[in-house]
Structure 1
Amino acid sequence: MNLLLVDDEESVVNALAIRIPWEELGISNVYKCYSGNEAWELFQSTPIDLVISDIRMPGIDGLELIRRIRSIKARSKCILLTGFAEFDYAKEALKAQVLEYLLKPVSDEELMAAVKRLIAQLQEEWQEISSMQRASYTLRQHLPLLRSNLLNDLLYGKNITSELSDKLQLLDIPYRFGDRFSMLMIRMEGNLLNYSKESMHLFEYAVCNMIEEIMDNEFDLWHGKDHHEYLTILLKPKNTGDPGKLHLSTERIVELKAEELQHNVEHYLKGNISILLSTWAEFPQEVPEIYESMLHEMRKLIRGKFGIFKTINTSPEMIRIQSLRSLYEPPLLTHLIEAGRFEDASFKLSAIVSELFGSWGNSIEHINEVYYFLLSSFYYLSHKSGKQIADVIGEPSLELDMNARRSPDQFCRWAEGLLHLFQREMENEKLTTNTSIINRVQQFVEERLADDVSLQAIAEHVYLNPGYLSKLYKLETGENISDYLYRLRMDKSAYYLKNTHLKIQEICERIGYQNTSYFIKMFKKHYHVTPQDYRNG
């Protein structure tokens, strides 16, 4: 747990940091700030759980600091240290806040007791939020969406791993490896297309309810909506269902139920649906192939002709020549590289090459499809960054002859080699970009030193998030922006004191301090002498 101490009296902050046995209270890190401005900047870049702050400080005072803190992190706990004259004012101002406020001078025991109360309150709140009961309730609330998302992953060939069984069990989906399943694909048609998107969602929900009402006794259903706005349903015969009792095959029962669904949609929802039904397949490995075949057939259905029902032969021998799934499924290789996700890009390349030579290794057309797709991707990435491809890859040849393309090892080395070169180029470019950002920050601060330069204003100038900018600056320079600003002001004030006849008040204005007393205190803290002694020395 992290604690922030804030007071413009350096001795007060340092004493509290050293005197109180924070570790015994469960505090692992104690941060110190000597102004509200410095504390606000730190809070935006560092996770803080507890704040102990004085009220009266130049710039951002304690009340304003806590108001800002609670505006972005409502569960942060705050203690205000108040003087006697401010006590009633602070008490009134904080009525609506769940905070502690202590009257100065505060004893160690009193402060520790207040911290313990807030820590207990904070732990209780987060334990309630993260409790298994609440997590279970949240899971139930979002179960339909989570089930639909997992189904979509399977349709596109994702999540077919050993972890799938755990996910199926967690989401209470009664499907297991090796189960026989059939797929329904439904297209909303007719009058249903005249409604708004919000109304369409209600109709889709109604259709899914109808499916469950009609088929739930005989089949375990798993439904969702794919990226093409088609309702997609997996059907698995229930063990308790015995189609023999009705002297009908399972296939015929599904067909009758699907026809009943079409009838009910037309009669009760005053609309139409077309339905495609697949032949039986094995779960989960055949889900992507079945879906691809169904999607191909759905695209062939004539728009404007309503209420079509068709059973599609999706057996393996009927699957046609097709493109590689891993090549085009999102995220594309170019998107991963642009995002700097090079480890994921490497996995993506491996998946593409594995699918290519595992399924289409004897097809020159498929080999060329992948080769020219990758070639085009690398040209695109170069040109988007404003460079020629030769500027990125250097001397090595970009192209691969046909014999090398036929070899899985050579093809993979070629693709991985280009990926590595692009990674190196982007990392070098990132270093250059970071240096440019630091220079722009420092130039902006120096030009506006007389103003109250805030982290937000600096971040807006370089078009970055304040928290990210603060971390980037610290990573690249080894100091916080506030430290740089403070050091720059001290350096400038020392220069003015030694090389000009400006008055102390005028120097304060030039370096951005509005309060002369505060400047003198900060100058003495830095140089261990007053500004006047420094000038006279």
Structure 2
Amino acid sequence: MFRVMIVDDEYSVIEGLKYTIAWEKLEIDHVYTASSAYEALQQLNQHHVDIVITDIRMPGMNGLELIREIRERWSGTRCIILSGHGEFDYAREAIRAETTDYLLKPIHEDELAETIRKVQAKLRAEWEQISEYKASVVALREHMPLLKHNLLGDLLQGLVPERKALMLKLELLKLPFAPGDTVSLLLVRLEDEFYGYDARRLQLLEYAVCNITEEIFGKRFDTWYHSDTHAYLVFVLRLRDREPLSDAEQPEPVEEDTLRLVERLAAQVQMSVHTYLKGNLSIMVSNWGEFPGNIRGLYETAMTSFRNRIGSSSGLFYSMGDEDQETAKTTALDELYRLPTLLNLLDTGKWDEAANKVNAIYNDLRNRFPSSREHLMEAYFSMASSFSHFAHKNGQPLSDLMMDSATSDDDRLRSAVRLKEWSLAVLERLRTSVDNYVSDSRKELLSKVQSYVVDRLQEDVSLQAIADHVHFHPVYLSKIFKQETGENLREYIHQIRMEKAVYLLKHSELKIYEIAQQVGLDQAYFNKVFKKQFERTPQEYRER
């Protein structure tokens, strides 16, 4: 869909174009208006506009000056000139300013519609050109570090794409890893010396640490890093000269020399950071596993060993062994903390996904900890905390939404099935409460809008004026009004004007121009739109 702006200092021209052209048939969903070039520039700063239809002669900044400003600041916006006869010199200047077209007043609807279609065709061609391969490559290159960072973050959380999709992403991001590779993780923690800096300086220091690590390990290993939610730098290491494995092959054991090499290079990283950045690092080297299936397990066991073996000590190095693999095995409810969490889904209003999350937590309990009351309690208190937090943020009383006086904590903790039933019931109550609140608030908003239009029909009832009155953004207001009523706000305003005009024609002695004033229109335009709707002039309608 396209967006259009009409700029003219004659109110009748603006209203005539806005309400007589079948904009929807032209695939235009927003029509903005401005009575001067200065007002047009203000609106262009607030809204994206595809086509500007502007008069030439206007007080202050004229139409050609406006076009030059638009081309300098919004190169993707196209302009159409409207003006009277006898202004050929202006027309030539408009062509030099690369105006799309030049139309003479009075404007014929078919001629304007055809001109707009030509402009739309040119815009579509430009949009397609922008989205071609070259532009995509540039965008990909610019976002490559973030895309690499996010993909590894997903793998560390256990969110592994299908094999074909993963291989495509690895190739696209130029990452020298493949399914079946033997890999290890290097967890790096910046110690207290670094945390006296502000956020920007700390980010630069992390970048420097990553560069040092990649430079030292890069001579023998392929590396790929991610900064996790615990502020650890996590590097995936793959020894070079190892051929990717087929689906049927098993990864070979890592040789002792490789383990010593990783330890030696890690110590070199610590020394370089201490020498050049004047700070200490603690480093944990995980066991080796298969990419990508073992990545999450390697990460979780390495994090557990980091806590147990290094803890709060500073500047230490530790390489995991088989005994660490056994003692670091997680007994936590994975699904309870896997992103997105239940609270994340509640906050974003993804109710169906939240219900799926509850079911996934139940399945994790049933399959891995069928007899563990401890894990049942962990799940209950975590989910209850999420429900409580969400309810409090929305100003909702827990007694109505979450707590059932007939249900005790002991009953909820009787079994995983009972906990699931309770959680889904609370979830449904929260959903119903939020839906009711949204519905009530929108009804209140519509009531304010409708009252404003009816009470101030003779005044400014433009979308912007109404939006200012109810303190909402015009685009949001327009969409909500259409969603709730099934009609555009401008159509509603027009209908209210016509209904009031009909009533006054039938039940008052007011003259036609006075009725026009009562509905907020000048007489000429009022006659035009009235006849278009009722197929007779106001006077003819009164006399019938």
1:31-42 to 2 correspondence within 5 Å?
36=33
Cα shift readout 1:209-264 (whole Å, capped 9, x = no counterpart): 222222123211111211232211111222259xxxxx962111000001111111
Contact 2:376 2:416 in 1 (8 A): no
What is the match of residue 22 of structure 1?
Answer: none
CA distance in 1, matches of 2:73, 2:440: 32
**Deviation readout 1:164-185 (Å, 9 max, x if unpaired):** 3432232222333343221112
Tell me: CA distance 1:524–1:294, structure 2 relative to 1, closer, same or farther (3 Å): same
From the superposition, tell whether residues 109 and 403 of structure 1 become closer, same or farther in structure 2 (CA, over 3 Å): closer
Equivalent residue, structure 1, for 2:350: 341
SS across alignment from 1:310 = strand
Gaps of 5+ in 2: 7-11, 244-254
Aligned equivalents of 1:346, 1:368: Cα separation in 2: 19
Structure 2 SS opposite 1:142:
helix
Shift in alpha-carbon separation, 1:369–1:398, aligned structure 2, 3 A: same
Match status 1:317 vs 2:326: yes
- Map 1:286-435 onto structure 2 (within 5 A): 286-298=294-306, 301=310, 306-313=314-321, 315-319=324-328, 322-382=331-391, 385=394, 391=400, 405-407=414-416, 411-435=419-443
* Distance of 1:430 and 1:185 partners within structure 2: 45
Per-residue deviation, 1:139: 1.3
Deviation at 1:328, TM superposition (A): 3.3
The amino acid across from 1:84 in the alignment is H
2:169 partner letter: K
The equivalent residue for 2:148 is 147
Q: CA–CA distance in 2 between the matches of 1:523 and 1:472?
A: 28
Do structure 1's residue 448 and structure 2's residue 478 form an aligned pair?
no
Q: Closer, same or farther in 2 for the Cα pair 1:403/1:348, shift >3 Å?
A: closer
CA shift in 2, pair 1:130/1:217, >3 Å: same
- Identify the range of structure 1 (410-419 vs 108-117) with the bigger mean alpha-carbon deviation: 108-117
- Aligned residue number for residue 222 of structure 1: 224
Q: What one-letter code is carried by the residue in structure 2 that aligns with 1:367?
A: L
Task: Indicate the SS of the match to 1:275.
Answer: strand
Query: What SS does the aligned partner of 1:523 have?
Result: helix
Identity %: 37
| C-alpha separation in 1, matches of 2:520 and 2:360 | 57
Counterpart-to-counterpart distance in 1, 2:376 and 2:27: 59
Shift in alpha-carbon separation, 1:270–1:369, aligned structure 2, 3 A: closer
Q: What is the correspondence of 1:80-91 to structure 2 with a 5 Å cutoff?
A: 80-85=81-86, 88-89=89-90
Q: How many residues align?
A: 515
Which residue in 1 is equivalent to 2:529? 522
Structure 1 29/395 Cα, relative in aligned 2: closer, same or farther at 3 Å?
farther
Q: Equivalents in 2 of 1:276, 1:364: separation in Å? A: 33
> What SS class does the counterpart of residue 217 from structure 1 fall into?
coil
- Measure the CA separation in 2 of the matches of 1:72 and 1:331: 40
Deviation at 1:428, TM superposition (A): 4.0
Superposed, 1:51-66 pairs within 5 Å as: none
* TM-score, with length taken from structure 1: 0.77
Aligned counterpart, 2:483 = 475
**Pairing partner for 2:497 from 448, 470, 489:** 489
Contact 2:301 2:330 survives alignment (8 Å)? no
Listed as ranges, the matches of 1:498-517 within 5 Å are 498-500=506-508, 507-513=515-521, 515-517=522-524
Aligned amino acid, residue 228 of structure 2: D
Distance 1:108 1:204, change over 3 A: same
Q: Which residue of 2 aligns with 1:23?
A: none
Q: CA deviation at 1:93?
A: 7.0
CA pair 75-224 structure 1, distance change in 2 beyond 3 A: same
Q: 1:85 to 1:337 in 2, by over 3 A?
A: farther
Change (3 A) 1:124 1:444: same
Q: Give 1:135 shift.
A: 1.1
Contact persistence 1:5–1:13 (CA under 8 A): no
Q: Which residue of 2 aligns with 1:101?
A: 102
One-letter code aligned to 2:501: S
Closer, same or farther: CA 145–436 of 1 in aligned 2, 3 Å: same
User: CA 1:464 to 1:332, structure 2 compared with 1: closer, same or farther past 3 Å?
Assistant: farther
SS in 2 for 1:274: strand
Deviation at 1:203, TM superposition (A): 2.7
Residues 199 and 5 of structure 1: CA distance in aligned 2, closer, same or farther (over 3 Å): closer
Give secondary structure in 1 for the equivalent of 2:76: coil
Letter in 2 for 1:147: K
Aligned partner (choices 270, 273, 286) of residue 265 of structure 1: 273
Query: What is residue 200 of structure 1 aligned with on the other side?
Result: 202
For 1:102, give the aligned amino acid. L
- Whether the 8 Å contact between 2:80 and 2:99 is mirrored in structure 1 is no
Report SS of the residue matched to 1:362.
coil
How far, CA to CA, are the matches of 2:108 and 2:527 in structure 1? 29
Q: Residue deviations 1:46-68, cap 9 Å, x none?
A: 998667677799xxx99999899
Answer yes or no: is the 8 Å Cα contact 2:81–2:99 preserved in 1.
Answer: no
Secondary structure, in 3 states, of the residue corresponding to 2:231? coil
Following TM superposition, by how much is the alpha carbon of 1:149 offset from its aligned partner in structure 2, in angstroms? 1.3
CA distance in 1, matches of 2:145, 2:194: 22
